[in-house]
């Protein structure tokens, strides 16, 4: 996120006003006099004692909030990343968030809505839709001119519904617009933005939580963590229901901006999600979407180590529990037989007088109880339930699709998870495991998107874009019943 190179002004600290300089993520409070400087030097020892006390009590150091006024007359609020430091009497803060707003706004800390701009929003909702291209030919039928016009039609603003964060209803709108600047190197340009309107004003903490929802959404649609939010603008709704921009929120986060040229291609788009933004945002707000397994950048998409494999398994387990939690995995015949065996073991335990034998029987019962709830069984169930979508990706990775293949994938993944869980760190990854991991990554998305009633074609096209599969998908209906009937 681009933020001001330097901010100057006055801030309140310890009930007194201090001149401040903010630069490159660091806020410096400057003592106004030499006497103040000496006072803060003496406080250096006090600060060190407080830090030591936190360590002894094993407590987190709380963030500080520093309010002030900038040199251009705006109000500003800094939120630190932990407590303050003391550089020979000059107080310093490592700043995480900045909220700069107009002093004459209705209430600078009551936020009615946000407008977010990001590189990934442009990739998601292509802003070129605001342009119309016209090609003209001369009398010899040769190309004469290509004219680009900007036409802001109503379909370039899309209402995407609402989702809830606690008791706050958030209406989501996405739009594209063009700008013209005669003095720019690129005089005609376009960009997209997401507008979030709240049913009632929220404070800064809630606004930051909602911004995190949007960032997580961009992480989700791009399968990477290094998304680039360029701007976050704050608006208020006045008594006449008119919207007015009153401030900006800056997030100071050290991230390497994506440089891979595929960043524009490898993303789920608005069209492929069929406009269903809010169901994903709702799941994110309810903490149902696991994102820790996402790669840091595009170049890491195909890299696997023990940590990334563990996180991938965790992501699948989380999504599976959310989507399939109430659906039985095994047949009634299997479950009845399992119940009979467990009952026999329980009867035998009652007859055992040896405590160690009873303990062994409890262990056997636990193994049987968990036998149909393994990672392998869940993977098999998820693939089978989504075979109409998964078929093409299975064939692309293994050149075949049948029940034996699905069983093998499930067994390999279950064995690997158990191998890691028992502390075996000398993990040997075979080439076929790379295909298994690829299927698992796809399956995590397929479960979520299929539960949202997105069409099979859209999901397949989205997966191809997100993970770089070069598969032609016709828009004509495809007959897949033969595969399911014969092999499944």
| 92 and 138 both lie in a single domain | no
- Using CA atoms, how far residue 178 sits from 47, 132, 229, 235, in Å, is 51, 12, 19, 21
Report the run of H or E that residue 45 belongs to, with start and end.
Answer: helix 34-57
Q: Is 192 contained in some domain?
A: yes
Contact 463, 359 (CB under 8 A): no
| 41 and 122 both lie in a single domain | no
DSSP string of 142-173? -EEEEEEEE---GGGEEEEEEEEETTEEEEEE
Of 308, 331, 312, nearest to 320 by C-alpha is: 312
pLDDT given at position 60: 47
At which of 54, 77, 101 does a domain end?
A: 101
| 317 and 283 both lie in a single domain | no
| 176 and 271 both lie in a single domain | yes
- Rounded to whole angstroms, the Cα distance separating 202 from 200 reads 6
Q: Is 208 contained in some domain?
A: yes
Q: Is 352 contained in some domain?
A: no
DSSP H helical segments within 289-402, as ranges?
306-324, 332-351, 355-371, 375-385, 387-398
Taken as a whole, the chain contains a residue count of 488
* Assigned token pair, 98: 């900045």
Q: Is 339 contained in some domain?
A: no
Return the beta strands (E) in 128-266 as ranges: 131-137, 143-150, 157-165, 168-180, 188-202, 229-237, 243-251
At which of 79, 101, 123 does a domain end?
A: 101
| 204 and 311 both lie in a single domain | no
Of 372, 374, 376, 379, nearest to 446 by C-alpha is: 379
| 247 and 390 both lie in a single domain | no
| Backbone φ/ψ region at 318: left (φ over 0), alpha (ψ -120 to 50), beta | alpha
Burial of 413 (0-12, 13-18, 19+ CB in 10 A): buried
| 62 and 119 both lie in a single domain | no
416-442: string of b/e by CB count within 10 Å (b at 16+)?
bbeeeeeeeeeeeeeeebebbbbbbbb
Cβ-proximal residues to 9 (8 Å cutoff; 6+ apart), any chain: 19, 20, 68, 69, 70, 71, 76
- Rounded to whole angstroms, the Cα distance separating 238 from 252 reads 30
- Using CA atoms, how far residue 311 sits from 305, 314, 318, in Å, is 10, 5, 10
Residue by residue, pLDDT tens for the chain (488 residues) are 777 789 999 998 878 888 999 998 899 988 766 666 566 656 655 555 554 554 555 444 457 889 999 999 899 999 988 767 766 667 888 999 999 998 766 555 689 999 999 999 999 999 988 877 667 677 776 765 665 666 555 458 899 999 999 999 999 999 998 877 767 777 778 899 999 999 999 999 999 999 999 999 999 999 999 999 999 999 988 777 788 888 999 998 777 889 999 999 999 999 999 999 999 999 999 999 999 999 999 999 888 888 899 999 999 999 999 988 645 566 667 777 878 888 888 888 888 878 888 888 888 777 776 665 678 989 999 999 999 999 999 999 999 999 999 999 999 999 998 888 776 667 788 899 999 999 999 999 999 999 999 999 999 999 999 999 999 888 766 544 333 333 44
DSSP state of 29: E
How crowded is residue 16: how many other Cβ atoms within 10 Å of its Cβ? 11
- Whole domain around residue 165: which residue ranges? 111-299
Q: Is 358 contained in some domain?
A: no
Q: Is 23 contained in some domain?
A: yes
pLDDT given at position 175: 93
Q: Is 319 contained in some domain?
A: yes
| 135 and 230 both lie in a single domain | yes
Q: Is 399 contained in some domain?
A: yes
| 173 and 211 both lie in a single domain | yes
Number of structural domains (the chain) is 3
| 170 and 68 both lie in a single domain | no
Report residue 413: phi and psi, to 5°.
-70, -40
pLDDT tens for each residue of 235-249: 988 777 788 888 999
Contact 103, 82 (CB under 8 A): no
- In this prediction the pTM is 0.83
Question: Bridge-partner residues for 136, per DSSP?
Answer: 145
At which of 280, 299, 318 does a domain end?
A: 299
The sign one gets for the Cα dihedral 77, 83, 88, 89 is positive
pLDDT given at position 79: 92
Return the beta strands (E) in 400-464 as ranges: none
| 168 and 239 both lie in a single domain | yes
- Rounded to whole angstroms, the Cα distance separating 423 from 434 reads 21
| 168 and 291 both lie in a single domain | yes
């Amino acid at each position: 996120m681009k933020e001001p190179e330097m901010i100057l002004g006055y801030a309140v600290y310890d009930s007194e006003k201090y001149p401040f300089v903010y630069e490159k993520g660091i806020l410096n409070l400057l003592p106004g006099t030499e006497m103040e400087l000496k006072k803060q030097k003496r406080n250096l020892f006090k600060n060190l004692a407080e830090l030591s006390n936190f360590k002894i009590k094993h407590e987190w150091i709380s963030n500080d909030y520093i309010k002030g006024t900038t040199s251009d007359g705006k109000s500003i609020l800094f939120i630190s990343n932990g407590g303050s430091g003391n550089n020979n009497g000059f107080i310093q803060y490592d700043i995480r968030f900045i909220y700069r707003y107009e002093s004459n706004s209705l209430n600078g800390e009551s936020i009615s809505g946000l407008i977010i701009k990001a590189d990934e929003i442009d990739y998601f909702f292509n802003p070129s839709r605001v342009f119309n291209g016209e090609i003209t030919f001369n009398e010899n039928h040769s190309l004469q001119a290509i004219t680009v016009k900007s036409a802001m039609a109503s379909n370039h603003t899309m209402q995407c519904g609402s989702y809830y964060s606690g008791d706050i209803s958030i209406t989501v709108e996405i739009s594209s617009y063009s700008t013209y600047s005669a003095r720019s190197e690129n005089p005609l340009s376009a960009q997209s933005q997401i507008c979030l309107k709240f049913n009632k004003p929220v404070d800064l903490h809630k606004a930051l939580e909602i911004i995190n929802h949007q960032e997580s959404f961009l992480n989700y649609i791009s399968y990477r963590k290094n998304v680039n939010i360029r701007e976050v603008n704050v608006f208020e709704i006045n008594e006449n229901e008119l919207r007015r921009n009153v401030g900006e929120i800056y997030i100071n986060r050290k991230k390497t901006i994506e440089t891979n040229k595929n960043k524009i291609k490898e993303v789920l788009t608005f069209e492929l999600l069929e406009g269903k933004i809010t169901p994903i945002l709702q799941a994110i707000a309810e903490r149902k979407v696991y994102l820790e397994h996402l790669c840091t950048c595009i170049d890491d998409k195909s890299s696997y180590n023990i940590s990334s494999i563990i996180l991938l398994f965790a992501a699948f387990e989380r999504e599976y529990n959310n989507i399939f939690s109430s659906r039985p995995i095994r047949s009634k015949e299997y479950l009845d037989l399992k119940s009979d065996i467990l009952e026999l073991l329980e009867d035998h335990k009652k007859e055992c007088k040896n405590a160690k034998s009873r303990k062994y029987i409890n262990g056997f019962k636990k193994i049987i109880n968990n036998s149909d709830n393994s990672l392998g069984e869940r993977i098999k169930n998820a693939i089978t339930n989504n075979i109409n979508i998964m078929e093409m990706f299975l064939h692309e990775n293994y050149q075949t699709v049948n029940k034996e293949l699905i069983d093998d994938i499930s067994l390999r993944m279950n064995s690997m998870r158990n191998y890691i869980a028992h502390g075996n760190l000398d993990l040997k990854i075979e080439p076929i495991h790379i295909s298994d991991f690829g299927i698992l990554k796809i399956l995590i998305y397929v479960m979520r998107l299929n539960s949202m009633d997105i069409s099979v074609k859209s999901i397949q096209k989205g997966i191809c874009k997100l993970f770089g599969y070069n598969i032609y998908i016709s828009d004509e209906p495809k007959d897949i019943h033969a595969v399911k009937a014969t092999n499944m």
